[in-house]
């Protein structure tokens, strides 16, 4: 990262914004991440992104094997500026990448031999998979998952809306994660990189400003 450019761009931000960035970055985590598989209701993916931001999850992985889509900016309410969105054409591609990064793959489903949410061990680095609104996760995910997780339910309905499910799961696991003696925060290098990204996204016509900076520098 160009430290001099970073310092220059920071002059375009208020002190309040810079302080807010530092505070939020200190609460961000990649200990947990979230995957949505072919969620065809646009507002659901956007709502999941909002939940990721609210609970400090830095990365959202969106698999678009069957359903092409875009994140709805209005529903995400700005979360797309702060959460890193990773897109995949196939679920296998996503699963392989997360495995290489050291995540255990946990399928959220009311079926199978699913563990209750309150019993989940939050100490392990985990990717939580959420599936389509009508049929849930694919057999590929269910066959390749390291475990299954479900939210306790006591009524006639056996499933929740995907965005509600994601919010409930994240609230529970993030709260308990913070109570554990584990290293869940971002590294200093990750924080610096994200702060640069967030700074750029906060400045209007930032590419023109960067171009002007380098021309004057040379």
CA–CA distances in Å: residue 117 to residues 46, 171, 201: 23, 11, 36
Token readout for 115 is 């563990």
Q: What is the mean pLDDT of residues 23-42?
A: 93
Residue 82: is its pLDDT beyond 80? Answer: yes
CA distance 83 to 59: 6
**Co-location of 202 and 130 in the same domain:** no
50 phi/psi in degrees, rounded to 5: -60, -40
Q: How far is CA 11 from CA 1, 17, 21, 212, in A?
A: 17, 11, 14, 15
Tell me the per-residue pLDDT of 168-216, one tens digit each, with 9 for 90 and over: 999 999 999 999 999 999 999 999 999 999 999 999 999 999 999 898 8
Q: Residue 75: what pLDDT?
A: 56
Report phi then psi at 44, rounded to 5: -70, -45
pLDDT of 115 reads: 95
Model pLDDT, residue 28: 98
Q: Give per-residue pLDDT as tens, 51-79.
A: 999 999 999 999 987 755 556 555 556 78
Percent of the chain whose predicted confidence (pLDDT) is above 90: 74
pLDDT at 79: 80
Long-range contacts of 201-210 (CB under 8 A, 24+ apart): 201/81, 202/12, 202/13, 202/17, 202/81, 203/9, 203/12, 203/13, 206/9, 209/9, 209/12, 210/5, 210/9
pLDDT of residue 44: 87
Query: Does 5 lie in the same domain as 71?
Result: no
Cα-based torsion angle of the residue sequence 121, 162, 49, 140 in order, rounded to the nearest 10 degrees: 70
Range of the domain at 210: 1-28+188-218
Same domain, 115 and 130: yes
Do residue 94 and residue 2 come from a single domain?
no
DSSP code for 96 = H
* Phi, psi angle pair for 214, to nearest 5°: -70, -35
| Residue 2 confidence (pLDDT) above 60 | yes
Helix/strand/coil for 85: strand
Residue found under tokens 């009524």: 155
Sequence-ordered list of residues with C-beta below 8 angstroms from that of 71, at least 6 positions apart, any chain: 42, 45, 46, 49, 62, 80, 85
Query: What mean pLDDT comes out for the span 7-18?
Result: 96
- Going from the C-alpha of 165 to that of each of 27, 34, 44, 60, the distances in angstroms are 22, 12, 11, 15
> Are 157 and 207 found together in one domain?
no
Domains in the chain, number: 2
> The tokens of 29 are what?
């985590």
Tokens of 148: 């299954």
Q: Do 41 and 9 fall into the same domain?
A: no
Same-domain pairing of 164 and 109:
yes
| Residues 90 and 154 both lie in one domain | yes
**Domain check: are 161 and 109 in the same one?**
yes
Q: Are 180 and 203 part of one and the same domain?
A: no
**Confidence (pLDDT) at 65:** 76
Q: What is the CATH number of the domain that holds 96?
A: 3.40.1280.10
The larger pLDDT score, comparing residue 96 to residue 215, is at: 96
> Which region among 18-22, 126-130, 160-164, 174-178 has the lowest average model confidence (pLDDT)?
160-164
The pLDDT of 19-41, averaged and rounded, is: 94
- Region 16-21: what's the mean pLDDT? 97
Rounded Cα distance, 129 and 146, in Å: 11
Same domain, 161 and 142: yes
Whether 1 and 75 map to the same domain: the answer is no
């Amino acid at each position: 990262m160009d430290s001099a450019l970073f310092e220059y761009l920071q002059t375009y931000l208020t002190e309040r914004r810079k302080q807010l960035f530092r505070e939020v970055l200190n609460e961000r985590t990649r200990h947990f991440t979230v995957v949505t598989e072919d969620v065809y209701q646009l507002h659901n993916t956007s709502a999941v992104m909002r939940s990721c931001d609210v609970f400090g999850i830095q990365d959202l992985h969106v698999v678009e094997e069957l359903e092409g889509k875009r994140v709805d900016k209005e529903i995400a309410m700005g979360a797309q500026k702060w959460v890193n969105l990773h897109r995949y054409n196939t679920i296998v591609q996503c699963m392989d990448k997360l495995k290489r990064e050291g995540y255990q793959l946990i399928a959220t489903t009311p079926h199978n031999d699913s563990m209750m949410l309150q019993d989940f061990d939050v100490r392990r680095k985990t990717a939580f998979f959420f599936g389509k609104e009508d049929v849930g996760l694919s057999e590929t995910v269910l066959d390749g998952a390291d475990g299954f997780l479900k939210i306790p339910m006591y009524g006639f309905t056996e499933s929740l809306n995907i965005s509600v499910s994601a919010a409930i799961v994240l609230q529970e696991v993030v709260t308990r994660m913070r109570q554990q003696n584990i290293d869940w925060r971002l590294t200093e290098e990750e924080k610096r990189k994200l702060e640069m990204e967030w700074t750029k996204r906060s400045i209007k016509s930032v590419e023109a400003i960067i171009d002007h900076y380098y021309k004057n520098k040379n």
